[in-house]
Amino acid sequence: MAKFIILMGVSGSGKTVIGKALAPLINAEFIDGDNLHAQRNVDKMSAGIPLTDADRQDWLELIAQVGHKHVAQGTSCIIACSALKRAYRDLLRKDNDSICFVYLKGSFELIHGRISKRSHQYMPSSLLESQFETLEEPQNDETDVFVVSIDQEIPQIVNEIAKAEIIS
């Protein structure tokens, strides 16, 4: 059965690295959600300006469309998308029974340490604090979410996700 998997979490949580490693293990295409942003969003983030809910609306709708298209074609996909708020996850879930989320959970200190060692075209490390302020961690009633701690090595994280019942 085709799956639409959202790797979610704040910037620096490892969505892209983990998505690229996970995709071949589960026969899925990896798509970096950052590449689906409108140029105006890229410009704001590059300038260190946090996106608003209105800024994210079209982006989230496009991610949902891409996931729907894959599932309709019988192929699985993994999309890296922060999905920080419940409302964002609900929008992505709409009319999509094949979706599941993998929340890459880590502390501010851990992620800040990682993000300060890298350069990201859209996300300066200064926006990390605003992402943690925006983050609404998945609740128990969000039964389509698998939570994995990123306080371990990448291969361990990838294997834990690949073995998760929610994505099989």
- Please tell me the total count of domains within the chain: 1
Task: Give the pLDDT of residue 97.
Answer: 87
Tens-place pLDDT, residues 114-138: 887 765 555 555 678 888 999 999 9
Is 60 exceeded by the pLDDT of residue 8? yes
Distance between CA atoms of 22 and 132, rounded to whole angstroms?
25
Q: What angle do CA 84, 141, 158 make, to 5 degrees?
A: 60
Strand, helix or coil at 87?
helix
pTM (predicted TM-score): 0.92
Cα-to-chain-centroid distance, residue 111: 15
Is 90 exceeded by the pLDDT of residue 102? yes
32: β partners: 80
Domain CATH number, residue 145: 3.40.50.300
Phi-psi region of 106 (alpha: psi -120 to 50; beta: other; left: phi over 0): beta
Is 80 exceeded by the pLDDT of residue 73? yes
**Average pLDDT for 30-54:** 90
Range of the domain at 101: 4-167
